[in-house]
Amino acid sequence: MATCLIAGAMTLALASPGFTLSWTHSVEKITWRESWAITGTGLRLAEAAVKGSGAGMEPGDGAVLRNGWWVWVPDLPEQAELHLAASGATGAGWRLCDSAGTCHEIGAAPGRALRLAPCGATE
């Protein structure tokens, strides 16, 4: 089932409703990864993982260490949209990958926050 996301001014076609977002923390230089699902009404965070810990990078409640990653299921309600910071301070942007392994780098240049929302969502 193909689906899509609006990422700033781009529309990204995805192989399925599931996708991952990963990025490097600007201060700690530690990788963070989240697994999301597009639902009929928004975006649901299914899992979060962090490759270490540090200031602002503490693993969530119930985290378990799995292959060097602290992994947990956050208690977060479904989100209509996400706003991703585009500081330019990390040396890269956000990496968004679908279930088929197709990846896009978004928000690499410093600027306004990048809006991420299911296609058809209104501002």
Does a structural domain hold residue 123?
Answer: no
- Closest of 69, 57, 70 to residue 24, by C-alpha: 57
DSSP letter, residue 110 = S
Could you tell me if residue 107 is left (phi over 0), alpha (psi between -120 and 50 degrees) or otherwise beta? left
Does a structural domain hold residue 30?
Answer: yes
- What's the total number of domains in the chain? 1
Does a structural domain hold residue 73?
Answer: yes
Compute CA distances 30 → 14, 57, 61, 90, whole Å.
26, 8, 19, 10
CA distance 65 to 71: 6
Q: Domain residues for 60? A: 3-118
pLDDT tens-place string over residues 16-29:
999 999 988 777 67
Task: Provide the pLDDT confidence category of residue 95 given band limits of 50, 70 and 90.
Answer: very high
Q: What local confidence, expressed as pLDDT, does residue 77 receive?
A: 96
CA distance 42 to 79: 6
Q: What local confidence, expressed as pLDDT, does residue 1 receive?
A: 45
Share of the chain above pLDDT 70, in %: 88
- Say yes or no to pLDDT of 112 above 70: yes
- Say yes or no to pLDDT of 103 above 80: yes
Does a structural domain hold residue 93?
Answer: yes
Compute CA distances 94 → 20, 30, 105, whole Å.
10, 13, 6
Does a structural domain hold residue 92?
Answer: yes
